[in-house]
Amino acid sequence: MNLRTIVLPVLAVAGLVATVAAVKKMEFRTLDVPVPVSPAPSPFESRIAATGLVEPLGGVTYVDAADAGVVGRVAVAEGDAVKVGDILWELDHARTRAELGLAEAERAVAMAQLVDEEARLKALMESGAAEVVPQVERVAREQSAKVAAARVQRSDAQVQAAQAQLHRETVRSPIDGTVLFVDVRPGEYAPPGGRRLAIGSIDPMQVRVDIDEVEFARFAQGGKAQASLRGVPGSSLPLKFLRVVPLVQPKRTLTGEAAERIDTRVVQVIYELGQGTHRVQPGQVVDVYIEVPDSVQ
């Protein structure tokens, strides 16, 4: 009998047995696939359905330093409440503070010289011998006092320039609000023009609603409006009309891609977001239903 006809079947059977044993030992897990949730039903019989983006009331305010430089200190973190004028972050002030100290020292020297020259001139004129003092000496004293006064003015300007530079290197809050995000770290180089820190008023907030230009003909400012959270059936957030943005704009798809657009054009309507039972965050997408009154059907 051929040896191959015996060995190969035995090896095949052994491999099959090993495979079955290995499969039995494997643990299979069921993937946790989220169950699709249908949008909340409209509370209005006749309505406009739209998508809204939750924003701070008045929009997001981005702040940055006026000049480039190395970041010296960051004074806030996300979620901090700030008031107008509070320091948010600042550039390294080492060079500017040195320039300010030098300017203040020069001003002190100039002031001392001015006081000395004015005292000398006053003493000369009140000595009772002013009539016999040579004209050239009196003119020289007056000129020295004027030069000292000019030095004081120049040093004052240098001090003010250094103080202004310190102000430009310090980023302060322009509004009362909450810090939404911080993208700046001590020690990094920060060129001007970036969006490194954002502030907004989140109590209350607003919803920027995109209404299709075809549907906007049915829109009425007096119609009731309601927002619902995606994935939360039964959620209801009252909306209060604020204003209509006059410019019709291309619709942006809410995918996070800043340049992504579609052909639809929309009219943006701003509503104030009322209090609900669910927590809402800035940047969250909500479904919006706007009532269409019978008069505009």
Terminus-to-terminus CA distance in the chain, angstroms? 93
Residues 58 and 202 grouped into a single domain: yes
Strand partners, 153: none
Domain end among 152, 168, 184? 168
User: Which residue carries 């305010």 as its tokens?
Assistant: 61
Domain end among 110, 145, 168? 168
155-176: pLDDT as tens digits: 999 999 999 999 999 999 999 9
What CATH number does residue 56 fall under? Answer: 2.40.30.170
User: Which residue carries 């924003």 as its tokens?
Assistant: 55
Q: Which tokens hold the place of 77?
A: 């973190």
122-150: pLDDT as tens digits: 777 776 555 555 676 777 778 888 888 89
Domain end among 114, 137, 168? 168
**Which pLDDT score is estimated for 108?**
92
Number of domains in the chain: 2
Helix (H, G, I), strand (E, B) or coil at 182: strand
* Owning domain of residue 130: 94-168
**Which pLDDT score is estimated for 223?**
86
Model confidence at 209: pLDDT above 70: yes
Give the sheet arrangement for strand 87-91, strand by strand: 170-172, 87-91, 69-74, 189-190
What global pTM score does this model have?
0.69
DSSP assigned state of 169: T
What CATH number does residue 152 fall under? Answer: 1.10.287
- The H or E element that residue 82 is part of is strand 81-82
